[in-house]
A and B are shown apart, each in its own frame.
Chain A
Amino acid sequence: MEKDVQILEDVTIRFAGDSGDGMQLTGSQFTNSTALAGNDLSTLPDYPAEIRAPAGTLYGVSGFQLHFSNSDIQTPGDSPDVLVAMNPAALKVNLKDLKKNATIIVNTSAFDAKNLKLAHYDSNPLEDDSLEGYEVVQVPLTQMTMTALESLSISIKEKERCKNFFALGLMYWLYSRPIEATLEWIDEKFGKLPLIQEANKKALMAGYYFGENTELFTSRFHIERAKLPEGTYRNISGNEATAYGFIAASVKSKLPLFLGSYPITPASDILHELSRHRNFGVKTFQAEDEIAAVAATIGAAYAGSLAITTTSGPGLALKTEAVGLAVMTELPMVIVNVQRGGPSTGLPTKTEQADLLQAVHGRNGEAPVCVLAAATPADCFDVAIEASRIAIKYMTPVIMLTDGYLGNGSEPWLVPPVDSIPEIPVHFVAEGEEFHPYSRDENLSRPWAKPGTPGLEHRIGGLEKAHITGHVNYDPDNHHFMINMRQNKINKIQQDIPDLEVRGDQKGDLLVLGWGGTFGAITEAVTKVTKTGYNVSQAHLKHMCPFPKNTAEVLKNFKKVLIPEINLGQLAKLIKMEFLIDVESFNRVRGLPFKSSDIEARIIEILGEQK
C-alpha cells in the first residue's frame, strides 16, 4: 500500500517502558539513525536509579527523549509530539508531559489486568475517555513480535525481549529513517549469538514492514536534512566528548593521560570510555574510593602526567580535602563533576546545577581553583581541552562542571580537524636548570619538576610553604603572602580567557545570563521571544572562576539581568557578591533540564506582555 509522505520540520519523540525493556538502547539506535539521516538532534535519556525495578511499576519506567529537526536545534524538546509507551506505567508516567493532541503508540499487549493494577489504573485508559484529544495508535507490539519470531527456536522470554526492536522498526518506517546502521549494530553486538542476532533483526524488519502494511497509519513522515555548517559530523554524548577531549589534550600536550576514578552515576561513562583507549597510553585507575581516586590523581600529576579525576557531587564532596592539597602543592589536574540531583545521594540519575558554589568555594581555607562549565554535550570536548590547558599553564587544579543531562544527552558534533586543535605547551624543569620549587614565572606558576630528574630532588606537601624555596614555613607574613599569591594566580587566568560574548544587542533592557547545561533551553527561549518582538540579549558563562574580564561591563549595559539556573540561585549569588548588582532569578530544581517555554514565560513576565 502506497502511503503519502508528510514533510515535518521538527519532531520530539519519547520512548518509554520498563527499565528492562531496552528503552535506552532503542532511543540511542533511533538517535544514531537520525544523525545519519542528517537531522540536527538533541537527546534526553531519563532513567530510574534502580537497575531493574520490578516490571510494570511506575517507578521502574525508563524513558529516552529525542528532538530532531531540519534546522539547528538547542534542546531535547519541551514536550513530546509522540510517545511510544511499552506498558501502562509508561503511559501513566509520561502522559502529562505530552503536547496536546500528541500521538501515542501503545503496546496493547502489555495492557492486561496485572499491569494496569501495577500502574494504579482503575480502568483501562485505552477503553475509557482518559486519552481523549490524543491520537492513540494501538499496536499489540509484544504479540506481533512473538508471531514474527514464531519459527525461531529460542525461549519465549528471549522472543519477548525483542519487542523493542519491533517498536524501533515501526518508528523507522514512520519517520523514514535508514535501517541499515541498526542492522549492522545487531550483527556486531550479537554476532556470537546467531539466534538472538537473527531474532532482533527479524523483529526490527517486522516492525518496519508492519508500518508499511498496516492501515493504522495513512501516512509517514519525512524530515529534511538540517542545514548545518559544512563538515563531518558524528553523534556524541557529553561524557564521550569529555573523554575525547582529555585524550586530545594528552596528545596535544604530549603528556601521558592518567585517570583516577571511582564509579558514580552519572559520571562513570567517562571512566568506561577512557579505559577503552589504552593504545593512547591512557592509564585508568579504578580506585577503592573517591578519595583514593583523587589522591592517586595528585600523585600522577606530581609524577608528570596529565592527571584527571571524574566524579559527581557526592564524590566531589569526598575529594574536597585532596583538592585543597592540590591547591597547596600547585599541581595541574582536572576534576570533572558531572552534576546530579542533590543533596546527599539525591537523584543519582537526574540532572542539576547545584554544585557551583561547592566547586568555587567548597574547601577549607582560602583554596582558589579555576572552575569551567560546559554548555552542550559536544562542548564538553572543548572544555576538557581548555581545562587541561589552564591546569598545565597555571599549575592548578581545575574543576570542570558538566551535568547529568549533558553527560548522557547527545547531539551531532562537528568533528574538528586534528590539526586545528592547538598544541598545549608543557615545560618540565630539566637537569641542571636552576630550580626552586616555589619560584614563579610570569603567570605566577611554580615550576613542574618530574621525579626521576637528577638534581631536582625536592619535597612538597600540604603544609604551608615558603615563597621560592618551598620549605615548610609557619611565618605569619609568608602565609599571608602565599594566600594572596595563590589567589592572584587564579585571578591571572582572567587575562587568558575569552571575553563574555553577548548574543543580540550589547545594551538593553534585559540580559539572560546562563551557565552550563541550560544553554540550549535559554537559547531557544531567547530566540523565540526575540522573534515575537521582545528585545532580549543572551550571554552564557563557561568560565565560572575567574569570570571573563569584561563581565562587569556586560552586566552594566542592561537594566535587568535574569539568571535561570537549576538550583536556588548559585550563580546569582556569585554575581551579586562580585559585581554588587541586583539580578532576577529563575529557578526550577526538578532533576530535569529546563523547558524553554518556562524561561520564555519568565522573560515575558519580567518585560511585561508585549506592547
Chain B
Amino acid sequence: MSDKTSVIETKKLTAKDFSSQQDVRWCPGCGDYSILAQMQRTSPDLGIPKEKFVWVSGIGCSSRFPYYMDTYGFHGIHGRALAIASGVKIANPDLSVWVATGDGDCLSIGGNHFIHTCRRNMDIKILLFNNRIYGLTKGQYSPTSEKGKKTKSTPFGSIDYPFNPPAVAIGVDATFVARSVDRDPKHLQAMMQRAAKHTGTAFIEIFQNCNIFNDGAFFDLTEKDRKADNVVMMEHGKPLLFGKENDKAIILDGLTPKVVSLADGKYSVNDAWVHDEFDRNPARAHILSHFTEMEGFPVPFGVFRQIEKSTYDGDTHDQIESFIKVKGQGDLNKLFMSGNTWTIE
C-alpha cells in the first residue's frame, strides 16, 4: 500500500487529474470555463496533495464549480459556502479549502459570512466570479450591477448602488485581496498561485463574462483595442502606468489620485505612484479599489494588498495545544467529578 502511494505521489499530476468526469453544464461561451481551466492548470503546481483540496460552493452558476474539479467538493446552499468552508477548515486545518462563489451568493445572501470570514482571517481561498448579474435565476440585477442597469427585475433601471467587492474586503481587513479576469488566463493563474501561497483569507475578484445575460460587461477591460487604456496592472514595487505606450501614470497628490500623461513632459515615471502590496496601512489599497467608480481611471488588476496575520483556524489549534500543555489531556472521570460531589453508600 505504502509503495503504491509513493508511486502516485512521485507522478506529476496534470490539469487532467483535476478534472472530474462530470459534464460541464455552463452555457457555451461562459467565462466560467476559463476560470475552471485555469484552476485545473494551476492546481498541480501548488505543492498541495490532491486529496487535501476541498472545494466548497453555494448556489449560482459559479457554484457548480466543485462538481467539475476532481477533488473533495461540497455544493452547499445559497450564500453559505464560506460558513460551510469555515467548518471544514476549523475541523481540519490540514486541508486546503477553496470557495467558488458569485456576486449574489457572496455579497447578497452571503454578505454576512463574507465579511466575517475575512475579519477572522480564516485560511480559505475565495474566488468571486463577478458577472454583475444573476445568471442562474435568469437575469435579475445583482449587488454588483451598476446603478441604472436595466434587467428583468429593474425594467426602469436599478436604483441600487453596487458593492465594490475589493473595497468591502479591504474594509474588513482581508489579508489578501486581488482582482483578475476570465479572459487573461496567465494573470488569472498567477493570482490563483498567489492566493494558494497566502496563509489566511485570500480573496480574488474575477470579472467573468456572462454571455447570456450580461454579455460584454467587461469587454472594455479585455478586448485588445480598448484594454490598454482601461486597465492598470498592479505590481509590487512598480509604478502604476497604463495606456498603449505606457504613456499614462497614476500619481498620488496627498490622498487624491490623479491620472496624468507622461507624453507632454510635465510628469515622468518617477512621479508615478509605486505600488506596495505589503503596506499594512489599508489606505492606499482602498484608494486603488475605488478606481472602478472614478471617471477616467483605469481598472486595477493584480494584488491590492497582502498582509500577515494569524488565522482563526491556526489560533484555535494553538489554544487547544497550549491548554492541553497546562491542564493535560482531558479526562472524562475528572470532568464528571469536577465541582462538589457526594457519595451515597
Contact = CB atoms under 8 A, between A and B. Distances in A.
B330 A247 contact: yes
B341 A322 contact: no
A299 B66 contact: no
Interface string A275-302: 0011111110101110111011111111
B112 A36 contact: no
B80 interface: yes
A410 to B, nearest CB: 11
A232 B334 CA distance: 13
Interface string A294-321: 0111111111110100000000000001
B332 A291 contact: no
B77 interface: yes
A415 B336 CA distance: 7
Contacts of B8: 454
B94 A452 contact: yes
B86 interface: yes
Contacts of A295: 76-77, 80, 83-84, 86-87, 113
Nearest to B323: A278
Nearest to A281: B320
Interface string A206-236: 0000000000000000000101111111110
Contacts of B70: 457
A498 B78 CA distance: 39
Contact of A233 (B49, B319, B344): B344
A431 B1 contact: yes
B28 to A, nearest CB: 19
A137 interface: no
B84 A458 contact: no
A113 interface: no
A451 B51 contact: yes
B268 interface: no
Contacts of B345: 230
Q: How large is the interface on B (under 10, 10 to 19, 20 to 34, 35 or more residues)?
A: 35 or more
A248 interface: yes
A231 B345 CA distance: 7
A321 B110 CA distance: 14
Given A277-B330, A454-B51, A325 B76 contact: yes
B16 to A, nearest CB: 14
Nearest to A449: B72
A32 B75 contact: no
Given A229-B344, A244-B336, A300-B91, A461 B86 contact: no
B255 to A, nearest CB: 32
B77 A322 contact: yes
A456 interface: yes
A225 B345 CA distance: 12
Contacts of B54: 303, 451
A292 B83 contact: yes
A260 interface: yes
Nearest to A181: B340
Contact of A459 (B50, B52, B74): B74
Given A288-B116, A297-B87, A299-B88, A35 B51 contact: no
**Interface hub of A231, A260, A454 (most chain B Cβ within 10 A):** A454
A568 to B, nearest CB: 31
A36 B340 CA distance: 7
A136 interface: no
Given A231-B344, A296-B90, A452 B95 contact: yes
**Interface hub of B90, B328, B329 (most chain A Cβ within 10 A):** B90
B153 interface: no
B342 A232 contact: yes
Nearest to B17: A457
A462 B58 CA distance: 9
A298 B84 contact: yes
Contacts of B86: 285, 287, 292, 295-296, 299
A247 B335 contact: yes
Contacts of B343: 231-233
A301 to B, nearest CB: 8
B327 interface: yes
Contacts of A415: 336-337, 341
Given A228-B344, A244-B336, A454-B8, A299 B83 contact: yes
A258 B66 contact: no
A453 interface: yes
A505 B341 CA distance: 37
B155 interface: no
Given A285-B87, A418-B332, A431-B1, A321 B320 contact: no
A262 to B, nearest CB: 11
B330 A280 contact: yes
Interface string B50-81: 11111011010000001100111111110010
Given A296-B84, A453-B51, A288 B77 contact: no
Contacts of A457: 50-51, 53, 70-73
B228 interface: no
Contacts of A304: 91-92
A296 B22 contact: no
Contacts of A247: 330, 332, 335
B76 A462 contact: yes
Contacts of A462: 59, 75-77
Contact of B20 (A283, A305, A459): A459
A258 B53 CA distance: 21
Given A278-B319, A460-B73, A460-B74, A307 B329 contact: no
Interface in B221-255: none
A450 B50 CA distance: 13
Interface string A540-553: 00000000000000
B333 interface: yes
A462 B335 CA distance: 39
A459 B87 contact: no
A471 interface: yes
A285 B313 CA distance: 10
Interface string A39-51: 0000000000000
Contacts of B73: 457-461
Contacts of B1: 431-432
A560 B66 CA distance: 56
B39 to A, nearest CB: 15
Interface in A457-479: 457-463, 471-472
A451 B91 CA distance: 11
Contacts of A459: 20, 66-67, 72-75
Interface of A: 32, 35-36, 38, 181, 225, 227-235, 244, 247-248, 251, 256, 258, 260, 277-283, 285, 287-289, 291-293, 295-305, 307, 321-322, 324-325, 329, 415-416, 418, 431-432, 450-463, 471-472
- The 8 A-B residue pairs whose C-beta atoms are closest, nearest first, are A299-B87, A461-B75, A296-B87, A280-B330, A295-B83, A459-B73, A303-B91, A292-B83
Given A231-B344, A452-B52, 19 more contacts: A234-B341, A277-B330, A278-B320, A279-B323, A280-B329, A281-B330, A292-B113, A299-B74, A299-B84, A299-B91, A300-B91, A301-B87, A303-B88, A307-B91, A329-B74, A450-B92, A451-B72, A451-B88, A456-B51
28 contacts: A35-B340, A36-B340, A234-B341, A247-B332, A251-B330, A278-B319, A279-B323, A279-B324, A279-B329, A281-B320, A283-B91, A285-B90, A287-B86, A291-B80, A293-B83, A295-B80, A295-B113, A298-B84, A298-B87, A299-B56, A302-B88, A303-B54, A303-B87, A304-B91, A450-B92, A457-B73, A461-B76, A462-B76
